[in-house]
A and B are shown apart, each in its own frame.
Chain A
Amino acid sequence: MRNPGRPERVTCLQCRALFDVSSGRAAFIGTQDEAPVQPFTPLGSVGHFAAGDLTLIGFLQRKTIDEEGTAWFWEEYLLSDGEGGYRWLVCSDRHWTLFEPTTCGSDIKPVVYHRGRAYKLFQHGQAQVTYLEGEFYWNVAVGQGTYTADFVHPPYMLSGEYSESSSTKGESIWTHGVYLPVAEVEKAFGVSGLPRPRTVAPNQPFNASQIYQIWFLASMAVILLAGLFLTLTPSEKVFDETFTLSTPQDPEARKKLEERVQTDKGMQTVERHTFRPAKKVSLKGLKNIRVTARARTMPDNSWVEVVGYLIDDDTLDVQPFDLTLEYYKGIEDGEAWSDDDREKNTYVSSLPGGEYVLRLDLDRQPGSGPMSVQVLIEQGHPRWWHALVALVLLAIIPLITWLVQKSFETRRWRNSNVNPTGA
């Protein structure tokens, strides 16, 4: 015997006969059929767990029968710490949970609170011992039945065994378990090749849930940084000039302004007014550039396209920008409408610090009335939109994870006889 002085029941390793040894002498109780299942490691094996070394002293198989009459089997491995303490390593549907005795004493109800955690009732029913071998510290026998109830708070499980099917009567024994991945069981006992589960266990944790904490922290970091950028970065005006556009009376001069350009609507003749301000634009590096075009005066139902170029005379790099201003209004079916885009802005990336030549082409429909367009260039305008892009990108993986978790939980509760729909 591996646990001398303590067992009440032992089995013969050769013939599987069961003996009562509670009195100190082996009294024959009965025989068993051929072993329906073998332990994954021989009795006497030592498992190295975080709580210490535990020796496998007993193995039993139990079953329960569901409402449809299907029998569900699982295996329980009794482990001894050699000092009178016991643990249960339970394998159900290829999932492993290590249980230890605890005190609880609750009836079967939807939620049980234990050590500050809420455990949801997952399943309950009559369980029966179908096979056993090894040494046991209680008077176990094949066919012995108890009423069991499992409550889950992944990765933990609280399991109660009631002496009567009514949980409010009789005695109850409680164990508290924690889910063990198969690899940890293999590592503890130095074995390999244990079958991998294909289902979701009642107390199997959803491993990717750490994602949410990381997502929250990263999102908070972006929001904080965005707040700092938006409030602490000073913006600076580097160019502000208003340009007046008028169509010359002289047909020759008017002709000179005409250009054929490619537009969204195909090739079109426009009236192009080109401006090259004498003063260069002085730009600082590492600051983005915001260009605002504002029509100070603009005839009704007209448009102007402001095409600008910031030219670095040394490198000959050209940074273009493009803004279209328009103002349309009318009456349709007795209702007045207007389309007012007389002010627009656009952003371009920071350019190396230095002096830049600004060239502006202001294209409009030939013969439009007098117009004046203000062009304002500023630097240092952090954009909330970039923070939004970062937040959306950060949320993609957690969102997918959440959908996967929903499916995971549905699969978990599909096996419950308390909430079989998984809803």
Chain B
Amino acid sequence: MSRFAIFYTIVAAFIVIFYTVSTAAGWEYFQPEKEKTTQEAKRGGYRGGAFIFIHGGPRGGK
């Protein structure tokens, strides 16, 4: 087997394994980024303006 074929075998194996693991683990490739909320927001019951993200929300900040 040529070096190029060995290289492609490694690449193909990685893709197949990544597909298998990611699907079995329920990963999405593209999705909104995870955020962090605060203890204050939690105490406030995540209501109104108390619902603050450390990073911007999905629409660019809340």
Q: Which residues of A contact B (CB under 8 A)?
A: 207-208, 210-211, 214-215, 217-218, 221-222, 225-226, 229, 261-263, 274, 276, 286-289, 307, 309, 311, 313, 316-322, 346-350, 357, 359, 379-380, 382-383, 386-387, 389-390, 393-394, 397-398
Please, which residues of chain A bring their CB within 8 A of the CB of B32?
319-322, 348
Q: Are A208 and B36 closer than 8 Å at their CB atoms?
A: no
For A357, the closest partner residue in chain B by CB is B46
Whether the pair A225, B46 counts as a contact (CB closer than 8 A) is: no
Q: How many Å from the CB of A206 to the closest CB on chain B?
A: 10
Contact status B26-A286, CB under 8 Å: yes
The answer on a CB contact under 8 Å between A389 and B29 is yes
Once the chains bind, are B11 and A397 in contact (CB under 8 Å)?
A: yes
Q: Which residue of B lies closest to A359 (CB)?
A: B46
CB-CB < 8 A to B61: which residues of A? 262
Interface set, chain B 2-56, CB cutoff 8 A to A = 2, 4-5, 8-9, 11-13, 15-16, 18-20, 22-29, 31-32, 34-39, 42, 45-48, 51, 53
Q: Which residue of chain B has its CB nearest to the CB of A318?
A: B35
Return the chain B residue nearest A230 by Cβ. Answer: B23
Q: Given A210-B1, A316-B36, A394-B15, do A262 and B46 touch, yes or no (CB 8 Å)? A: no
Specify which chain A residues have a CB less than 8 angstroms from the CB of B47 in the assembled complex. Answer: 274, 276
In this complex, the member of B4, B25, B37, B42 whose beta carbon has the largest number of chain A beta carbons within 10 angstroms is B37
Q: Which residue of A lies closest to B53 (CB)?
A: A318
Beyond known contacts A215-B8, A317-B35, A387-B23: 17 more, CB 8 A cutoff:
A210-B1, A218-B12, A226-B23, A262-B61, A263-B59, A276-B47, A286-B26, A289-B26, A307-B59, A318-B36, A320-B58, A321-B31, A379-B26, A389-B29, A390-B15, A390-B19, A398-B8
Determine the distance from Cα of A307 to Cα of B35 in the docked complex, in whole angstroms. Answer: 14
A-B contact count (CB 8 A): 128
Knowing A287-B26, A347-B28, A397-B11, say if A319 contacts B34 (CB, 8 Å): yes
- List 14 A–B pairs whose Cβ atoms lie within 8 Å, in order of A's numbering: A210-B1, A211-B8, A215-B8, A218-B12, A218-B16, A261-B59, A274-B48, A276-B47, A288-B28, A307-B58, A317-B34, A318-B34, A357-B46, A398-B8
Given A225, A313, A319, A349, which contacts B19 in the complex, CB threshold below 8 Å? A225
Which A residues lie within 8 Å of B39 (CB)?
316
Contacts of A263 in B (CB 8 A): 59
Contacting pair B19 A317 (CB below 8 A):
no
**Contacts A262-B60, A276-B46, A313-B42 known; A215 to B26 CB distance under 8 Å?**
no
Nearest B residue to A397, CB-CB: B8
Measured between alpha carbons, how far is A393 from B13 in the docked complex, in Å? 12
Q: A397: which B residues are within 8 A, CB to CB?
A: 8, 11
Best-surrounded residue of B2, B23, B58 (most CB of chain A within 10 A): B23
Chief secondary structure at chain A's binding surface? mixed
Residues of B within 8 A of A319 (CB): 32, 34-35
CA distance A207 to B51 in the complex (A): 61
Given known pairs A287-B26, A322-B32, A386-B23, the reply for A218 and B15 (CB within 8 Å) is: yes
Chain A residues closer than 8 Å to B46, beta-carbon distance = 276, 309, 311, 357, 359
CB distance from B27 to the nearest CB of A (A): 5
CB distance from B37 to the nearest CB of A (A): 5
Pairwise interchain contact A208-B60, C-beta atoms closer than 8 A = no
Do B19 and A222 touch (CB < 8 A)? yes
How far in angstroms is the closest Cβ of chain A from B25? 5
Q: Specify which chain A residues have a CB less than 8 angstroms from the CB of B18 in the assembled complex.
A: 390
B37 touches A311 (CB 8 A): yes
Residues on the B chain within 8 Å of A287, using CB: 26
Q: Nearest residue in A to B12 (C-beta to C-beta)? A: A218
Q: A210-B1, A210-B5, A318-B53 are in contact. Are A349 and B35 (CB under 8 A)?
A: no
B residues less than 8 Å from A379 (CB atoms): 26
Nearest 7 A-B pairs (CB), nearest first? A350-B26, A288-B26, A218-B12, A390-B19, A318-B35, A210-B5, A349-B28
